Amino acid sequence: MLRPEELGLNPGDPLPILPGHFSHGRFERVLRAGHFAITTEIAPPDSADPDEVFRRAHLFNGHVDAINATDGSGAHCHMSSLAVCAILTRVGYSPIIQISCRDRNRIAIQGDVLGAAALGVCNVLALSGDDVSVGDHPEAKPVFDFDSVSLLQTMRTLRDESRFLSGRKLDLPPQLFMGASINPFAPLHSARVDQFAKKVAAGAQFVQSQYCFDIDMAREFMARSRDRGLTESCFVLMGVGVLASAKTAKWLRSAIPGVHIPDAIIRRLEQAEKPRAEGRRIAIELMQQLAEIDGISGVHLMAFKQEEFVGEIVHASGVLGGRKPWLPASPLVPAASNPQS
Amino acid sequence: MYKVRLWAVKHSRGMERLYNATNPLVLGLLKGVDKLFGRKLDRPITAIEAGLKGLLFDCKMCGDCALSKTGMSCPMNCPKTIRNGPCGGVRENGMCEVKPEMRCVWVAAWDGASRMKHGDAIKQVNFALDHRRRGTSSWLKLVREDSDAAA
């Protein structure tokens, strides 16, 4: 068990980098200490109000080890991931900045990575990103100067070689814990482990997956990943979704390409008296089953519009085994109510 | 053309053989042309490459041809121009998330690579494009890189 002093006393301060670690962050410490980790997603507000970010993060206090701030997810416009993360680091949260290749070229991205590190953000998730055509600004110009693999390689160059891609030297490199996404549940299944291996080769130290609703598929993917030795150099956090109803599940399955939900899950929701509670039970069971699979280091809980249940789900699953993740003690954190209202 | 492109991926092993058989000849010829004419014939050579590879692979003339490393499926036909795919959005039927009527370029690529003798090249990281090369000839790039290396 990590002692409080190992997690940093003043929550806003960067932690000293431990031997064999790459970042100042708590998230990397939890994983490298061998704990089963929980991450979740914060939906960035459609607002310029920083307190709204704190209000949304407040729901996760003491339940998760890191919070992903999405970067224009579904190609919809929201507060930027960089800003959400920077606000969260003020009081000591451990955010994961998501960087999508859709909206920025290599000049902007390298600048943002340095800026994020300077603001205390040390976990990054490299994503190719959804196409602009699925978002609320389909007329926008898609950038895609990089894909996620080139982005990982670029961040590793910044961190390990202390230089821009151009060769120009950095005075201080960003100390990053680098992640990527995987989707073991989409075609081409035979290539998914190879794709994972490419991301590890490009520098991924942790991966978070798309929703896992098919435990057999997850087991098979992990067996092949273990055979390739991938889980020795990369932490795998499987994605777990909280479904509100059979209707939501069917919508997700048909409207979001790459989301695989077996019919058995949909039947369970259809037959349940209280579908929302059943959706949470499914998430809890999946978390327990995933925690049993060799090579899985944690889960990434995606509870869009059900964020208030994250704590309940995490603790009912028992996957933390009594460990309590960090929560802010600073008076800077506003109460859940809006002082202006 | 979409159908020809699919055919080329289906016959990736044959295309690889054809490429290996003709590549030294084409490069040798172009090396001679380069020596004799310098850059004077770059435009017609580029046009021939664009026409031929456009017909077979829907080539977009990115200027840094990856076909031999991508199962003969041109990655520039991916709507996100991903050079290390597939992305996580492939549909259950293997079609593209952005263009549901098109087979995912990267599903095709891994499929094509599985039939090729040197298909494992797809497993190597392919770094982002140099956008200055767009519209230029990959053949001439190979010829001039060779002569630069020899010089």
Residues in B closer than 8 angstroms to A230, CB to CB, are: none
pLDDT digits (tens, 9 = 90+) for A137-148: 999 999 999 999
Q: How far apart are CA A172 and CA A44, in angstroms?
A: 29
Note the pTM of the prediction, 2 decimals.
Answer: 0.94
Which residue in B86, B98, B128 is closest to A131 by CB distance? B98
pLDDT digits (tens, 9 = 90+) for A62-116: 999 999 999 999 999 999 999 999 999 998 999 999 999 999 999 999 999 999 9
| A332 min Cα distance to partner chain B (Å) | 38
Q: Which residues of A have a CB under 8 Å from any CB of B?
A: 101-102, 106, 128-131, 133-134, 142, 144-150, 153, 181-183, 186-188, 190-191, 194-195, 197-198, 201-202, 210, 256-258, 260
Which residue in B80, B114, B127 is closest to A150 by CB distance? B127
Which residue in B79, B104, B124 is closest to A131 by CB distance? B79
Could you report the predicted ipTM of this complex, rounded to two decimals?
0.95
Say if CB A234 and CB A206 are below 8 A apart. Answer: yes
When mean pLDDT is compared across A20-24, A113-117, A244-248, A326-330, the lowest value belongs to A326-330
Residues in A closer than 8 angstroms to B110, CB to CB, are: 188, 190-191, 194
When mean pLDDT is compared across A3-12, A138-147, A299-308, the lowest value belongs to A3-12
User: C-alpha distances in angstroms, A262 versus A214, A272, B69, B88?
Assistant: 7, 16, 34, 17
Residue type, A46: D
Q: How far apart are CA A125 and CA B79, in angstroms?
A: 22
Owning domain of residue B137: 2-150
| B64 min Cα distance to partner chain A (Å) | 14
Taken in order B18, B23, B24, B28, the sign of the CA dihedral is: positive
| pLDDT averaged per 10 residues in sequence order, chain B, 151 residues | 94 95 92 92 96 96 96 97 96 96 97 96 97 96 81 61
Q: Average pLDDT in the A165-174 region?
A: 98
Nearest CA in chain B to A183: B88
CB contact under 8 A, A258 and B88: yes
Residues in A closer than 8 angstroms to B97, CB to CB, are: 131, 134, 257-258
Query: Which tokens is A244 given?
Result: 């509100």
Domain count, chain B: 1
Q: What is the domain partition of chain A in residue ranges?
A: 4-182
CB contact under 8 A, A202 and B86: no
Nearest CA in chain A to B79: A131
**Count helices and strands in chain A by DSSP H and E runs:** 12, 8
* H or E element, residue A123: strand A123-127
Q: How far apart are CA A13 and CA A122, in angstroms?
A: 12
Cis peptide bond N-terminal to A11, omega within 30: no
What torsion do the CA atoms of A99, B106, A150, A113 make, to the nearest 10 degrees? 0
